[in-house]
Structure formats: structure tokens, C-alpha cells
Amino acid sequence: MRTFLTGFLLVALALGCNTKNENVVVPDEESLDVDLKRALPPAPEASAAQPIDRKLIKNGSISIVVDDVAETRTQILQTVKNLHGYISNESQNNSASHLQYDYTIRVPAAKFDSLQLKLEGLAERVESKNISTEDVTEQFVDLGARLKTKQELETRYREILKQARTVEEILAIETQIGNVRAEIESMEGRLNYLSSQVAYSTMNATTIQELQADYGFFSQLVSAFGRGWSALLAFMTGIAAAWPFVIMISGGLWFFLRRRRKSGNS
């Protein structure tokens, strides 16, 4: 580290004393990055007694059967509000056999277990349930260290930019700054995303209301009338579609009978 600092001071002194407008040597990002990592003090080792702030992402999915999906929806909305969460997506999918509502619910991580218990309490029965926890502590530590290094690197480039004399030097240094800034923003975006996932847990919930089919006499009678009406419409539609053939056959028959009548008279 002493060798690196000595070299850096000599370069800075030479640049400061330059009165002949000599070109500034623009180091590439890799060389500056390596020197910067060498110059930074080593990270302190974590004490065995010091607890680690774990970064956990907890998500889950649950499918429940309920008496009334509309009433259950009202209860879910109120539950999510009480837990200071929100519903990021909601959809409805109905069929002849069931009514189904799907929710994507986001709640503070500390409220996730409460949400799970509330949903189970609304169910006649739980069809399926899956809970997962992902530890992203290592990603946080790695991104934080890399972000700090890139920020220090950007500062070094800006110091060199102040010493640039020509347009070529300025453009070269600004290019390097732009590359480093893009990496910094990418790391910050990733950290923000992970922080959001850690702070708020996600529950994908499905509520299902099963429908019972009516197979009584009245139901069958109504169904038979419906099928008869459909058959009548299909028959009439078929006749309407075949009208050219009906005209041709009728005309041919009329012509044949007329000729036959003339032959009999003669």
C-alpha cells in the first residue's frame, strides 16, 4: 500500500507541476480498480459473538376452498389493509364447476405468518400450500463491497478529469466515468430490488368456490327444451343455407312435370 500511495503522489505532483501542457495519461478502469482494491483496508472479520443481520426473502402460495368467493374477497381486502400490505394483482377465473379468484398479496415481512394464518382461517379446506425462504445475505454483502469499490473508482476518475488538458483526454476520462457510473447504477438497482423483496413478502393466494350441479327433473326438462330449440335453429339454418339447391330441384321438377303433361295431351 505504501508503494501505491507513493506512486500516486508522484503522479499527482508531476501533473500539478506540468506547465508545458503535456498529455495526461488516462489509466484504464482495470488498473485503477486493482490499485484501489489494494489501497483499501481489509474488511474487519466478524466476531463470533456478533449476530449477523440475515437478509431473507420469504414467499409463499396457498389455495383454499371457501363457501363464497365474493364474501371471502371482502375479508381478504380487509385483512391485507389491517396488515399494512397491498394487492399487486387480482384476477377471476370461473367455469361450470367452480368460481375462482387469484391474488398476489404483498405484506411487510414481519406480517407474513399472520397473513398465512388469516387465509387458512377463511378456508373450508386448504387445497395446497407452499412456503419458501431464500437467504440473500451473501448477495447483499458482495454487492455492497463492489458498489463501494466502484464509487471510489469514480471519485478517482473525477480527480484525474480535473487535470486533463486536451479534448482527447477529457473525452477518454469521461468515457471511463460513464462506464463506471453505469455499473454503479446497475448495482444500486439490484440492491434496491433485493431490499424491496426482503422488506415485503409475497403470497400468491387462490380462493375456490365449488359449484354443485342440479340433476333433478326440472333441470333435465329445461336442458331438453334447450337442446330441442338448438336443433330447430340448426335445421332452419341448414335449409336457409341450401336455398340454391332447393330452387334448382324445384325448377327441374316443375319442368319435368310440364313436359310430361304436354306429352300426355298430345
Residues 130 and 106 in one domain: yes
Supply the DSSP string of 198-224, one letter for each residue. HHEEEEEEEEEEE-----SHHHHHHHH
Phi-psi category of 13—alpha, beta or left, where left has phi over 0 and alpha has psi -120 to 50?
alpha
Residues 80 and 34 in one domain: no
The parts of the chain modelled with pLDDT lower than 50 are 1-22, 34, 37-41, 43-44, 46-48
Q: Does some domain include residue 241?
A: no
Please give the grid coordinates belonging to residue 57. Answer: 426473502
Q: Does some domain include residue 162?
A: yes
pLDDT at 259: 73
Q: Does some domain include residue 242?
A: no
Q: What would the pLDDT profile of 205-217 be if each residue is shown by its tens digit? A: 999 999 875 555 6
Q: Does some domain include residue 205?
A: yes
Residue 48 CB coordination number (10 Å) = 5
Containing domain of residue 74, as a range?
56-135+200-210
Q: Does some domain include residue 113?
A: yes
CA 197/CA 208 separation, integer angstroms: 28
pLDDT at 15: 46
Instruction: With CA atoms as reference, report the closest residue to 64 among 192, 254, 207.
Output: 207
Number of domains in the chain: 2
Residues 21 and 69 in one domain: no
Q: Does some domain include residue 13?
A: yes
Rounded CA Rg of the chain: 39
Q: What would the pLDDT profile of 36-62 be if each residue is shown by its tens digit? A: 544 444 544 544 455 678 899 999 999
Residues 9 and 128 in one domain: no
Helix/strand/coil for 27:
coil
Please name the helix (run of DSSP H) or strand (run of DSSP E) that holds residue 63, with its range, or none.
strand 56-65
Please name the helix (run of DSSP H) or strand (run of DSSP E) that holds residue 117, with its range, or none.
helix 112-121
> pTM here?
0.58
pLDDT at 174: 93
Task: Look up residue 166 and give its DSSP letter.
Answer: S
Residues 91 and 125 in one domain: yes
Instruction: With CA atoms as reference, report the closest residue to 79 among 101, 106, 57.
Output: 106
CA 175/CA 29 separation, integer angstroms: 10
CA 84/CA 79 separation, integer angstroms: 9
